[in-house]
A = this chain, B = another copy of it.
């Protein structure tokens, strides 16, 4: 991701350090060799990630006049715990094998079971342990947020949105499950899921949290910035994610090539391709999409259809339009010049062709 200002090394090091310190604080409760794998899995998982959500929160705070208070790094970093929780549960639900180029959490615990020669189903143990790890990180995310050291008045101003975001995330994930189950979703229904599942909680709400923490009150300009900039960047981010899930380089995505195709993900990209497909193309999509054993030639055929129907070009066009609109909104927002520049960078980074 080509950004050095908004996601500077100093910022990334702060986030890393806060996450490590928080997990360390939990160590006395998670003592003993038996619980170590749980702690190690948490640490490994948290060492990865692009830190986009903490960055949107941090630059919201700075934009509304917040200073370089150490507590904001802790509060912002807590959003990585929420994200980690969602990804771990997501991988269980999708039965994904890989995450960030390494075994998904449930596969990691499954391997532990197998290597240890334990009794019962290794797969069931892996899934159970991953559900618990995800829940643990979910619980920790709110603890880290509340105990960040930010003033009570800041936390109180952001509390409603913080609660709401977490309910929205679960509902968005459920809508995503439904979208896959319904199958022939339209572009509009896929867009709705993208907004609920990713748009809101990846960009809009982290940004809103940062703004509210600093401003300590909901104001019309905050809402305008979060909707006009935040939601648009969020949708463009999801559109980019859809494209990378089909065309992305495995080295960069940390997932096998065409993984979304194998999982049969009903994304905006797929909905668009299906709505423009010839009968022959549509039949091929129905045959290949969601085949867990899909080989390279199947991936190639689906990519071809997505290109030939114009779905890829339309997605790129939409990403560009959403991004341009978002950047235009940014110009008029009454935030600091530094934050404006950082949010411009973040919007570009979140939607760029490199993952």
Contacts and interface: CB of A to CB of B under 8 A. Distances in A.
A113 interface: yes
Interface string A142-170: 11001100001000000100011011101
Interface residues on A, range: 35 or more
A143 B170 CA distance: 14
B119 A180 contact: yes
A175 interface: yes
A274 to B, nearest CB: 13
B177 A132 contact: yes
Contacts of A143: 163, 166
A138 B35 CA distance: 21
A59 interface: no
Contacts of A30: 167, 171
Contacts of A135: 85, 89, 134-135, 138, 170
Q: How many copies does the complex hold?
A: 2
B120 A181 contact: yes
Contacts of A147: 163
Q: Kindly list the 6 A-B residue pairs having the minimum CB-CB distance in the complex, ordered from nearest.
A: A93-B128, A118-B181, A119-B183, A136-B170, A139-B166, A143-B163
Interface of A: 26, 29-30, 34-35, 38, 85, 89, 92-93, 95, 113, 116, 118-120, 124-125, 127-129, 131-136, 138-140, 142-143, 146-147, 152, 159, 163-164, 166-168, 170-171, 173-175, 177-178, 180-183, 264, 290
Given A29-B164, A113-B181, A119-B182, 12 more contacts: A34-B175, A35-B171, A89-B131, A89-B132, A89-B135, A92-B128, A116-B181, A120-B180, A125-B177, A129-B174, A134-B135, A138-B139
